[in-house]
């Protein structure tokens, strides 16, 4: 592991500041959506419950949305605290700020086994600036610190990096599980090892692919990424955008496949639409090399979904990052749905699902418990898979 874990931090009876990631889509979906998108809350329950068993006073802190250093009523954390209280079946007291005398007094009055949730960290500009003064103020009421917010471990903020320099610190159980699951898939996977890549852009995944290519046995490409690969093959892609500056990279990957260095799987058929809209006038399935002029690639076709699902059955470790189509539009979610259900049904296979839109799709489909590990971090999981050192991990003390 290399970094101190929770079991090696003295938390018994202590006031423990825990950085969690409760950044749920409250801005886009409203308060009612919290119960539907509570994966990040559920994922941190083991750490909270461990601390409660130790008689700790648990001080939770998180950001929510992008308030830009100003107080915004729409992104207060109290509704998230209410949902957490329901999940834990015990009271979670939400405070109206995250630093200052009132916070310190509230924490001082806490009894063992009690929980408070501090207000949105990003109401203060010092959070994203990693301001040492803000980090000290945040740390002031606590005896020690637990970093359990993998989803923001790639951000060098006061609550992810600065506090670790002030308080005795360790990673939480969620962080530990994230690092072990993805690290094992990268460094010592059971083979064959496959990567299933989707989402909108090659550029979002190019560093991941560069880090994985020499390790992979199979590479599956879907989603908007496939458009650039089709272009690299010399095929037309209709009105769908392709990344001109990534075509050469796509050609390099194709050449590796042709040389037998990796088994490359590209779409055979695609679902296309006459407009990029959730209810376009016309929708049809076409061979991948025959996207009509002016039409948009929206999803992989049924033939491709079946082929991907069949080939994935022969793999022992699968890293999946990115939907197979425009999953947020129900008409174009079938490719992602089919592949997700196929992966969920595999026995004896290690399945590591990246965060962000991929995790949201798996959560929406009710398949969370069918996967070995579903990451809580979108950008963080990508950077980890790229082989980067994440600041929120690097800041923690060595084991």
**Residue 92: pLDDT over 90:** yes
Determine contact, residues 115/92, Cβ cutoff 8 Å.
Answer: yes
Phi then psi for residue 223, to 5 deg, are: 65, -160
Handedness of CA 19, 174, 84, 27 (dihedral sign): positive
Rg of the chain over Cα atoms, rounded to whole angstroms, equals: 22
Question: What secondary structure does DSSP assign to 61-84, as a single string?
Answer: E---S--TTS--GGG-SHHHHHHH
Residue 65: pLDDT band (50, 70, 90) is very high
Determine contact, residues 371/338, Cβ cutoff 8 Å.
Answer: no
Q: Residues of the chain with pLDDT > 90: what percent? A: 81
**pLDDT tens-digit map of 202-235:** 777 878 888 889 999 999 999 999 999 999 999 9
Residue 27: pLDDT band (50, 70, 90) is low
Q: How far is the C-alpha of 147 from the C-alpha of 379, rounded, in Å?
A: 17
**pLDDT tens-digit map of 174-204:** 999 999 999 999 899 999 999 999 987 777 7
Residue 279: pLDDT band (50, 70, 90) is very high
**Residue 28: pLDDT over 70:** no
Determine contact, residues 150/177, Cβ cutoff 8 Å.
Answer: no
- pLDDT score for 107: 98
Q: Which domains does the chain have, with CATH numbers?
A: 6-177 (3.40.50.1260), 189-385 (3.40.50.1260)
| Token output for 295 | 């039409």
- pLDDT score for 360: 86
Residue 25: pLDDT band (50, 70, 90) is confident
Determine contact, residues 3/171, Cβ cutoff 8 Å.
Answer: yes
Would you name the residues annotated as active-site residues? 40, 201, 356, 379
Flag whether the pTM goes above 0.95. no
**Residue 142: pLDDT over 90:** yes
**pLDDT tens-digit map of 38-62:** 888 999 999 999 999 999 999 999 9
Residue 1: pLDDT band (50, 70, 90) is low
Alpha helices in the chain (DSSP H): 26-29, 39-43, 45-53, 78-88, 101-108, 125-128, 132-139, 173-187, 206-212, 225-232, 247-258, 302-312, 334-344, 357-364, 379-385, 391-394
Strand order in the sheet with 263-265: 263-265, 218-221, 193-197, 317-321, 350-353, 373-374
Phi then psi for residue 94, to 5 deg, are: -95, 125
| Token output for 296 | 């948009």
**Nearest to residue 321, comparing CAs of 227, 220, 241?**
220
């Amino acid at each position: 592991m290399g970094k101190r874990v929770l079991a090696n931090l003295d938390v018994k009876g202590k006031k423990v500041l825990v950085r969690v990631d409760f950044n749920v889509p409250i801005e886009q979906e409203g308060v009612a959506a919290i119960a539907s998108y509570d994966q990040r809350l559920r994922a941190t329950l083991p750490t909270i419950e461990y601390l409660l068993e130790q008689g700790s006073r648990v001080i939770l802190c998180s950001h929510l949305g992008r308030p830009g250093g100003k107080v915004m009523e729409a992104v207060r954390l109290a509704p998230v605290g209410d949902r957490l209280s329901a999940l834990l079946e015990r009271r979670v007291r939400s405070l109206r700020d995250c630093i200052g005398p009132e916070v310190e007094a509230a924490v001082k009055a806490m009894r063992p086994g009690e929980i408070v949730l501090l207000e949105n960290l990003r109401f203060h500009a010092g959070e994203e600036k990693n301001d040492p003064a803000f980090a000290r103020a945040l740390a002031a009421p606590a005896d020690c610190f637990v970093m359990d917010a993998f989803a923001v471990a790639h951000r060098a903020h006061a609550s992810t990096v600065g506090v670790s320099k002030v308080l005795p610190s360790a990673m939480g159980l969620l962080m530990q599980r994230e690092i072990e699951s993805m690290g094992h898939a990268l460094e010592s996977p059971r083979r064959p090892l496959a990567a299933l890549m989707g989402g909108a852009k090659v550029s979002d995944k190019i560093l991941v692919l560069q880090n994985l290519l020499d390790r992979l046995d199979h590479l599956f490409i879907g989603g908007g990424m496939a458009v650039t690969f089709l272009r690299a093959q010399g095929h037309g892609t209709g009105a769908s955008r392709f990344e001109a500056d990534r075509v050469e990279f796509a050609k390099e990957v194709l050449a590796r496949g042709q040389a037998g260095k990796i088994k490359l799987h590209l779409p055979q058929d695609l679902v296309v639409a006459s407009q990029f809209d959730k209810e376009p006038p016309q929708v049809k399935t076409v061979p991948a090399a025959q996207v009509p002029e002016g039409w948009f690639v929206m999803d992989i076709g049924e033939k491709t979904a079946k082929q991907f699902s069949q080939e994935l059955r022969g793999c022992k470790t699968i890293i999946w990052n990115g939907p197979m189509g425009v999953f947020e539009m129900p008409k174009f979610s079938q490719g992602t749905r089919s592949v997700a259900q196929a992966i969920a049904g595999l026995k004896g296979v290690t399945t590591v699902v990246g965060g962000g839109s991929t995790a949201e799709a798996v959560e929406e489909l009710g398949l969370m418990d069918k996967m070995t590990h579903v990451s809580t971090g979108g950008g963080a999981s990508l950077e980890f898979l790229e082989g980067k050192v994440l600041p929120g991990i690097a800041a923690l003390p060595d084991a």
